[in-house]
Amino acid sequence: MFKIPMAFQEFNNTGYWGKPTATIDWCEKNYEVNYYVAEMWNTISNLMMIIPPLWGIWDMKKQKFARRFFFCYAFILVVGFGSLAFHMTLLYEMQLFDELPMVWGTYRYIGFAIIYLAWPQPLLQHVCYGILVAISLAQEIKLILEFKCSVCKRMFIVAIALYLFGFFLWNIDNILCKNITILREQIPMFLQPFTQMHAWWHIFAGYGVYIQVLFCIHSTYDYHKKYKLSNLLLPEHMYFSIRWQKPTKSN
Ligand SMILES: [Zn+2]
Ligand SMILES: [Zn+2]
C-alpha cells in the first residue's frame, strides 16, 4: 500500500501563460518541463489527434474517397489543436476543446437515440455528413447488422476498445493522482512521462476516433456493394489507413 508522505503537496509552478484559469487542472504538474508549456506530456500527446488525420487527408486523396470525409478528419484536427492549446496554456477559453471528445464519446449515444426515435430515416445518407459527431454507436451497430461487413465489425470493436481503455486511464489519472505522482518520483527519469495517464487518454481516444472515420468510409462502400468494391478496401498500417487492394484475376 502507498503511504502518502506528509511532504506531498499539490505543487504547481507558474509559467508563461500565468495562473491557470481553467476549472480543471490535471494531475500533471504545471510548468515542470518547460516555461512555455503548462503540461508538456498532456500537450504533445495531442499529436495523436493531429498527425493521423493529416495522414488520413493525404491518403484519402490518393485513394480517391469522397471529399466529404475530409470534414471528418478536419474535425479531429480541430479538437486536437484545441486540446493542445488548452493543455499548453490551461486557459479557460481553451478548455472546451479538451472536454469535447469526451462529451461526444459519452453523450452522443443518448443524443442519437433521441434523434433516431424522433426521425427514423434511412441513415446512411447522414453518416459522416460533415462532422464526426453525427456518427453514433447505435448507427454503427445498425450498419454492421445491415451490411454484415466483417471489416467494419473489426474496426468498430477496435475503435471502441481503444476509446474505452483511454477513458479508463482518464479515470485512473483523476482518482489515483497522488499515488501515481509518488510512484513517478521513484522511477527513472526517462520512464516518468509514460506514467502520465491523461496523455495516454489523448493517444487512445485519438486513435479510436480516427478508426471511426475509416469505419465511416468503409460502410459507405458497403452501401454501394452492388459495385462489389468494399471487399477490395482493407485496413492497413495498424488501422491508420484503409486502401484499395489490387483485384486478383479470379475476382
Ligand atoms: Zn486532455
Ligand atoms: Zn465495411
Assigned C-alpha cell, 73: 478528419
In a domain, 31, yes or no: yes
Q: Are 239 and 214 in contact (CB under 8 A)?
A: yes
pLDDT at 248: 66
pLDDT at 226: 53
In a domain, 77, yes or no: yes
Ligand number nearest CA of 242 is: 2
In a domain, 205, yes or no: yes
Measured in angstroms, how far is the CA atom of residue 117 from the centroid of ligand 2? 25
Residues with Cβ within 5 Å of ion ligand 1? Answer: 98
- How far, in Å, are 64, 80, 213, 243 from residue 231 at the CA level? 16, 32, 17, 11
Integer Rg of the chain from CA:
21
In a domain, 5, yes or no: no
Q: How far apart are CA 110 and CA 107, in angstroms?
A: 5
Q: How far apart are CA 216 and CA 212, in angstroms?
A: 6
Measured in angstroms, how far is the CA atom of residue 83 from the centroid of ligand 1? 6
pLDDT in tens, the chain (251 residues): 344 443 444 567 788 988 888 877 889 988 988 889 999 999 999 999 999 999 999 999 999 998 888 988 988 898 899 889 999 999 887 877 766 655 555 454 444 444 444 555 444 333 443 344 445 677 788 888 888 888 999 999 999 899 889 989 999 999 999 999 999 999 999 999 999 999 999 999 999 989 989 998 898 888 776 556 777 889 999 999 999 888 765 54
**Total number of domains in the chain:** 1
Measured in angstroms, how far is the CA atom of residue 171 from the centroid of ligand 2? 32
Measured in angstroms, how far is the CA atom of residue 213 from the centroid of ligand 1? 21
In a domain, 251, yes or no: no
Measured in angstroms, how far is the CA atom of residue 60 from the centroid of ligand 2? 16
Q: Are 156 and 214 in contact (CB under 8 A)?
A: no
In a domain, 22, yes or no: yes
Structural domain that includes position 19: 14-245
Q: How far apart are CA 154 and CA 230, in angstroms?
A: 14
pLDDT at 8: 43
Measured in angstroms, how far is the CA atom of residue 221 from the centroid of ligand 2? 7
In a domain, 153, yes or no: yes
Ligand number nearest CA of 233 is: 2
Q: Are 60 and 243 in contact (CB under 8 A)?
A: no
pLDDT at 147: 84
Q: Which amino acid is at 129?
A: Y
In a domain, 53, yes or no: yes
